[in-house]
Amino acid sequence: MGKKKRTEVAPGFVSKASLSTVRVSPRKARLVANLIRGAQVGNALDLLGNCDKKTAPLVKKLLMSAVSSAKLQSSVDIDELYVKSIWVDEGSILYRFMPRAHGRATKIRKRSSSITLHLDEVGAR
Just give the CATH number of 17-124: 3.90.470.10
Please say if the pLDDT value at position 1 is more than 50.
Answer: no
Q: What does pTM read for this prediction?
A: 0.84
Q: How much is the pLDDT for 95?
A: 97
Compute the distance between CA of residue 14 and CA of residue 90 in angstroms, rounded to an integer.
25
Give residue 12's region: left, alpha or beta (phi > 0; psi -120 to 50).
Answer: left
Please say if the pLDDT value at position 8 is more than 60.
Answer: no
Q: How much is the pLDDT for 76?
A: 84
**Averaged over 81-89, what is the pLDDT?**
95
CA 75: distance to chain centroid?
A: 23
Q: How much is the pLDDT for 11?
A: 65
Please say if the pLDDT value at position 9 is more than 90.
Answer: no
Compute the distance between CA of residue 76 and CA of residue 121 in angstroms, rounded to an integer.
8
86: pLDDT confidence band, cut at 50, 70 and 90? very high
pLDDT tens digit sequence for 17-72? 999 999 999 999 999 999 999 999 999 999 999 999 999 999 999 999 999 999 98
User: What are the residue ranges spanned by the domains of the chain?
Assistant: 17-124
